[in-house]
Amino acid sequence: MKEININIRVEHYQLDELNTADRELVERALEATNGAYAPYSNFYVGAALRLADGTIVTGANQENAAFPSGTCAERTAIFAAQANYPDQSVSTLAIAARNTGGLLDEPVSPCGACRQVILGVEDRYKKPIRVLLYGKKGVYSLQSAKDLLPFSFVDDSMK
């Protein structure tokens, strides 16, 4: 037997410790929660991503009575960016969430489907996507989508 250890580095910041660009992206993700349509779960997620050219694209989760016809905030933002700026890679993605009690204390992490999509975009452009996960108690910063999904399935996996 061989043991494999996987180490993932997660940096923990207070919002005011982030640089200006990262703080702006988190704030845009927080604002994006207002565009969420979540009458069933009452869980409002916002995402904001920065493209290589500096453009910011936001998204919010959208629920539908015919589950699973809705979509998550992260995929909304990523698909909008890919449709409108197909030549631009994503450099950073920020995610924030709130419920009926307000913003969450702990950082929220993307679901498995969103992790796969983020990883696919990272693989498409061969550039890591930094991920910022917001919570009132702090912001987690990960250097790559691979940190969210260490055993990844990408195009090379099918060769």
46 annotated ligand binder: no
Residue 132 CA to residue 15 CA, distance in Å, equals 11
H or E element that contains 61: none
Q: Annotation-wise, does 111 bind a ligand?
A: yes
Nearest CA among 117, 128, 124, 141 for reference residue 8: 141
Q: For residues 142 and 129, what is the distance between their CA atoms, to the nearest angstrom?
A: 9
Catalytic residue among 31, 74, 106, 122: 74
72 is in an annotated binding site: yes
Q: Name which of 32, 31, 21 is nearest 77 in CA terms.
A: 32
The answer to whether 74 is a known catalytic residue is yes
- Cα distances (Å, whole numbers) of residue 4 to 1, 21, 150, 152: 10, 36, 12, 15
Enumerate the known binding-site residues. 72, 111, 114
Positions marked catalytic:
74
Known binding-site residue numbers for Zn(2+): 72, 111, 114
